[in-house]
Amino acid sequence: MLAVAGTAQFMVILDVSIVNVALPSIQADLGFSQQSLQWVVSAYTIAFAGFQLLGGRAADLFGQRRVLLAGLGLFTLASLAGGLAANQPMLVVARAIQGLGSAVVAPATLTIVTSAFPEGAERNRALGIWGSMLGAGGTVGVLAGGVLTELLSWHWIFLVNVPIGLAVALAALRWVPEERQAGGRGIDVLGALTVTGGLIALVSGIVNGDQAGWASASTLGTFGLAGALLVAFAVIEARMATRPLVPLRVLRVRSVTGANLVVVLIGASLISMWFFLSLYLQAVLGYSPLKAGFAFLPMSLVIVAMTSAASRLVARVGVLAVLVTGLLLVAAGLAGFTRLPVDGSWAGHFLLPSLLASSGLGLTLVSSTVAAMAGARPDERGLASGLLNTSRLLGGALGLAVLSTVASTRAADLLAVGHPRAAALTGGFHLAFALGAGMCLGGAVLALALLRGLPRQGAA
């Protein structure tokens, strides 16, 4: 069961980052503008984030195996459509449907793990393995994207999911038992639609604000729509939904609220880091997709090693110590990336900060998961896992939108005063990395303020 859950989680997280190295090839083939290109990433992460809570609740109500199989089927079909895409709308829609399938799969995998292992050291070890798939999926995605794009074509970064998805579905039928909670089959579809629509509008406002102007009618209208939809979501959850996606009693648990706030900041720095490093290696240093992919291989190995060790560290020194240490390491790595030069080298400038950041990510992925899942009721494990993954991807989508806007604005300013293109791009990346480091430091402060008192095993 753990192998099935880990492989499924690896596959859907891999698709968050696998497109990064392939973005220049996709842009050249389908004619994306620089502004519209990020929707190849954002369409996936927004749908993934917006429907996480629905997917988590579905796993509780309809059964973890049934929901996992449904999500795998949707994800696999969307991957096939993405691989066959011949124009921009087809690819962006396929990516959004992929994200919807992932939103069903991801919380089901965490529900399977927390149902199969009792809370405490045994579950922490299982979460360490599950977390290693989470971290490795993101970094291996960059490596796989480079290999497939250069040796075959960018279409294969999507087509490769088809045989893997079918294999995982067959394994789930064999090894994952069916479990669901009694008490009806109600599900809050309206809540899922309003929160997803609100996130799409919010990210659209951030992305387009730099182009149309932050005080323009279109930008303000988009932010207004986002606010209205998110307020509607809050009202639906508090007063209208018979089975809300986010029962307010869950948010009253300090460890749940604190861990999810920290995870928002982790997601913002993590997804943005892969995005900007991929662009730096190819657009500034001139790496091929294959060489850029292999440049990330040490990060993948370190994340796997650190997530495997993190569960033992949690048992020895506690959740808070591991989480804060991880956040400080990520901040140090991102601070190191602010010194990447235009004529930099992989060994001399890229390697050390990448090892610091990946070590910290391995620690934070597991410790934040243990904190967020601690004490979750058996009938709300899917909800807690959906909320956790929503926070991570929401942070990623918003962080990428904000930091991309900041980086592009900084690069445009440097170009306007006569800097070469490579130097201007690097200057924009430096500012984005600095802000990402600040987010991690803010996460450490939040963790110290809100997660004190968690027992060593993470039990509430």
The residue ranking higher by pLDDT, 103 or 247, is: 103
User: What pLDDT band is residue 303 in, cutting at 50, 70 and 90?
Assistant: confident
328-334: average pLDDT: 94
Cα-Cα-Cα-Cα dihedral of 179, 184, 185, 186, to 10°? -140
Asked if 156 and 32 touch (Cβ cutoff 8 Å), the reply is no
User: Which one, of 270, 328, 327, 323, lies nearest residue 299 by Cα?
Assistant: 270
Indicate if the alpha-carbon torsion angle 317, 318, 324, 327 is positive or negative: positive
> What are 180-195's pLDDT values in tens digits?
655 545 667 787 788 7
51-63: average pLDDT: 75
Output the six-digit token pair for 397.
Answer: 């989508």
What pLDDT does 382 receive? 62
Asked if 72 and 172 touch (Cβ cutoff 8 Å), the reply is yes
What whole-number distance in Å separates Cα of residue 304 and Cα of residue 312?
A: 14
What pLDDT does 460 receive? 32
From first CA to last CA, the distance across the chain in angstroms is: 25
255-271: average pLDDT: 83
Which positions ≥6 away from 118 have C-beta within 8 Å? none
> What are 97-156's pLDDT values in tens digits?
998 898 888 878 877 887 788 777 777 788 778 777 766 776 677 778 888 888 888 899
> What are 409-422's pLDDT values in tens digits?
888 888 888 888 88
What whole-number distance in Å separates Cα of residue 311 and Cα of residue 313?
A: 5
Output the six-digit token pair for 158.
Answer: 């999507």
Cα angle, residue 431 at apex, residues 428 and 432 outer, rounded to 5°: 90
What whole-number distance in Å separates Cα of residue 379 and Cα of residue 81?
A: 35
261-275: average pLDDT: 84
What pLDDT does 180 receive? 61
Q: What are phi and psi of 87, to 5 degrees?
A: -150, 170
Asked if 207 and 405 touch (Cβ cutoff 8 Å), the reply is yes
What pLDDT does 159 receive? 92
> What are 169-181's pLDDT values in tens digits?
999 988 887 776 5
Task: Report the percent of the chain where pLDDT is more than 70.
Answer: 88
- pLDDT tops 70 at residue 199: yes
User: What pLDDT band is residue 458 in, cutting at 50, 70 and 90?
Assistant: very low
What whole-number distance in Å separates Cα of residue 278 and Cα of residue 138?
A: 12
The full 3-state SS of 101-135, as one line of letters, equals: HHHHHHHHHHHHHHHHCCCCHHHHHHHHHHHHHHH
Burial (Cβ within 10 Å: 0-12, 13-18, ≥19) of residue 88: middle
416-444: average pLDDT: 90
Indicate if the alpha-carbon torsion angle 164, 167, 172, 173 is positive or negative: positive
> What are 68-97's pLDDT values in tens digits?
899 999 999 999 999 998 888 899 999 999
User: What pLDDT band is residue 321 in, cutting at 50, 70 and 90?
Assistant: confident
On average, the pLDDT of the chain sits at 82
What whole-number distance in Å separates Cα of residue 353 and Cα of residue 359?
A: 10
> What are 337-384's pLDDT values in tens digits?
999 999 888 888 899 999 999 899 888 888 887 777 765 666 666 667
- pLDDT tops 90 at residue 275: no
- pLDDT tops 80 at residue 4: yes
The reported pTM is 0.78
DSSP state of 155: T
Asked if 347 and 285 touch (Cβ cutoff 8 Å), the reply is no
- pLDDT tops 80 at residue 209: no
- pLDDT tops 50 at residue 331: yes
Which positions ≥6 away from 123 have C-beta within 8 Å? 113, 114, 117
